[in-house]
Amino acid sequence: MFPLSIERIPDVDEALRPAIRDFIAREMPPIDAARRSRSWMGFDADFSRKLGQAGFLGLTLPRRYGGGERGYFARFVVVEELLSAGAPISAHWIADRQSGPQIARFGTETQRQRYLPALCRGEAFFCIGMSEPDSGSDLASVRTRAIPDGDGYRLTGRKIWTTNAHHAHYMVALVRTSGGPDDRQAGLSQVIIDLTLPGITVRPLLDLAGDEHFNEVTFDDVRLGPDSLLGQEGQGWAQVNAELALERSGPERLLSSIVLLDALIAWQRSLAQPDPVAVAEIGAMHARLIVLRSMSIGLTAMVERGENPLIPSAVLKDIGTHGEQALAEIVTRLVGADPTRSAPPDVLGALAYISQMSPTFSLRGGTREILRGMIARGLGLR
Ligand SMILES: Cc1cc2nc3c(=O)[nH]c(=O)nc-3n(C[C@H](O)[C@H](O)[C@H](O)COP(=O)(O)OP(=O)(O)OC[C@H]3O[C@@H](n4cnc5c(N)ncnc54)[C@H](O)[C@@H]3O)c2cc1C
């Protein structure tokens, strides 16, 4: 089920690392550790545009659409560096990771030409419309309906938890184009929705950290044009599964707490006598990350070969998010264990944010229980 061969990042892609590090050193706005901890939840449209201008977006997309035509390992290197630095990358994140590759793979020529160049320039931002108020884990029960109407569709329904819908230009949504919720996967399609269309209401929702990053999006008889269908009508389920493997296999499933880990290491290095318990925990966390990174590289090799690592990426996301969450608990214990050695603001700021958000790490992109069900199915146990 899992790739057993040890893969490595090809030298040609590894060679990108100094360039993206230089870019970050030059262009990243000075932000404190609490803001750096947000990273793929942190919105900065200017930063994304500069990344696009420098050629760091759309690395997996064909050159004729403005992409880098470099493949998934080049993106892996860039993503790893951006996340490690805590760069604010949410503006382009979803477009670069999944909407772009989905449109390149399933879109019409007109759709590719319309969306991909703008997305590669960091000027077209996307969001993902899968979850609904009554359809989260049970995604096949989505009720948002696109009824064929003339040469297009009329769209009615509601999406929820839609990251960045309030900043995004477009949504790629999973909707029902025929049948009812009991038909499950049959009758589902993907559509590209221009979020400026009449009849769309985007209502930001506050998360526990006080940020507005996800939304409720309501569609009230929205008229979609003929070129809104992405891929084939009725093939939405298969298409979404291809997209979810991209969503779950990357290094972001390991690095949500990396700014906190770095702050912890810097704190311990600054002490004349580092706390031996902290040193042991840092060592254990480091060992875990090295193994998980190897798994993520293995999955990237599968994506690069055109395979769909849906189940192994569920394994990676489950173990990866477990480590991200454990770090917040470990640092809380370390900070609390010896109040006479007060932790620096970087540690406390990152810890406050990660502690509040870490429960979401194993919800977003599919919950832990759902992933474990998939793994059991992959092992022939269900
Ligand atoms: C930070 C964040 C960002 C998000 N961004 C987006 C986004 O951009 N776009 C989008 O579409 N969605 C997004 N989501 C939504 C996310 O995908 C859903 O929250 C998730 O899939 C769970 O769905 P739900 O919230 O409806 O919970 P439910 O499906 O109601 O689940 C509730 C609990 O029951 C458990 N459960 C449900 N079914 C089973 C089962 N069969 N077996 C065992 N346990 C089960 C779940 O594991 C969970 O613990 C985001 C969520 C978060 C937290």
* Ligand 1 atom closest to residue 129's alpha carbon, by position in its atom list: 11
User: 167 CB under 6 A from ligand 1?
Assistant: no
* Ligand 1 atom closest to residue 367's alpha carbon, by position in its atom list: 47
Give the DSSP letter string of 312-361: HHHHHHHHHHHHHHHHHHHHHHHHHH-TTSPPPHHHHHHHHHHHHHHHHH
- Are the C-beta atoms of residues 222 and 199 closer than 8 Å to each other? yes
Give residue-wise pLDDT tens across range 327-377: 999 999 999 887 777 899 999 999 999 999 999 999 998 999 999 999 999
* Ligand 1 atom closest to residue 368's alpha carbon, by position in its atom list: 47
Q: How confident is the model at residue 251 (pLDDT cuts 50, 70, 90)?
A: confident
Q: What is the mean pLDDT of the chain?
A: 94
User: 235 CB under 6 A from ligand 1?
Assistant: no
pLDDT of residue 310: 85
Distance 42 CA to ligand 1 centre (A): 21
Give residue-wise pLDDT tens across range 167-192: 999 999 999 999 887 888 999 999 99
pTM of the model: 0.95
- Are the C-beta atoms of residues 337 and 277 closer than 8 Å to each other? yes
User: 307 CB under 6 A from ligand 1?
Assistant: no
pLDDT of residue 4: 52
The rounded distance, in Å, linking the Cα atoms of 35 and 90 is 12
The rounded distance, in Å, linking the Cα atoms of 246 and 346 is 32
Query: pLDDT over 70 for what percent of the chain?
Result: 99
Give residue-wise pLDDT tens across range 8-43: 999 999 999 999 999 999 999 999 999 999 998 999
Give the DSSP letter string of 64-127: GGT-----HHHHHHHHHHHHHHT---HHHHHIIIIIHHHHHHHS-HHHHHHHHHHHHTT---EE
* Ligand 1 atom closest to residue 131's alpha carbon, by position in its atom list: 11
Give residue-wise pLDDT tens across range 294-325: 999 999 999 899 888 888 999 999 999 999 99
Enter the DSSP assignment of 148.
E
Q: How confident is the model at residue 105 (pLDDT cuts 50, 70, 90)?
A: very high
User: 136 CB under 6 A from ligand 1?
Assistant: yes
pLDDT of residue 342: 87
pLDDT of residue 279: 97
**Mean pLDDT confidence for 56-74:** 97
Q: Whose CA is nearest to atom 13 of ligand 1?
A: 161
User: 348 CB under 6 A from ligand 1?
Assistant: no
Domain 11-124: CATH class, spelled out: mainly alpha
From 175, 367, 370, 377, the mutation candidate for ligand 1 (largest count of ligand atoms within 8 A of CB) is: 367
Domain 250-378: CATH class, spelled out: mainly alpha
List all residues 6 or more positions away from 323 whose beta carbon is below 8 Å from its beta carbon. 254, 257, 285, 288, 289, 292
Where are the strands (E) in 168-299, listed by range? Answer: 170-176, 188-194, 200-206, 212-224, 229-230
Give residue-wise pLDDT tens across range 42-59: 999 999 999 999 999 999
- Are the C-beta atoms of residues 56 and 23 closer than 8 Å to each other? yes
The rounded distance, in Å, linking the Cα atoms of 233 and 239 is 11
Q: Which tokens in the block code for residue 250?
A: 């990357």
Q: Whose CA is nearest to atom 44 of ligand 1?
A: 369
3-state secondary structure of 192: strand
pLDDT of residue 246: 80
Domain boundaries, the chain: 11-124, 128-234, 250-378
* Ligand 1 atom closest to residue 369's alpha carbon, by position in its atom list: 47
Q: Among 3.50.50.60, 2.40.110.10, 1.10.645.10, 1.20.1260.10, what is the CATH number of 128-234?
A: 2.40.110.10
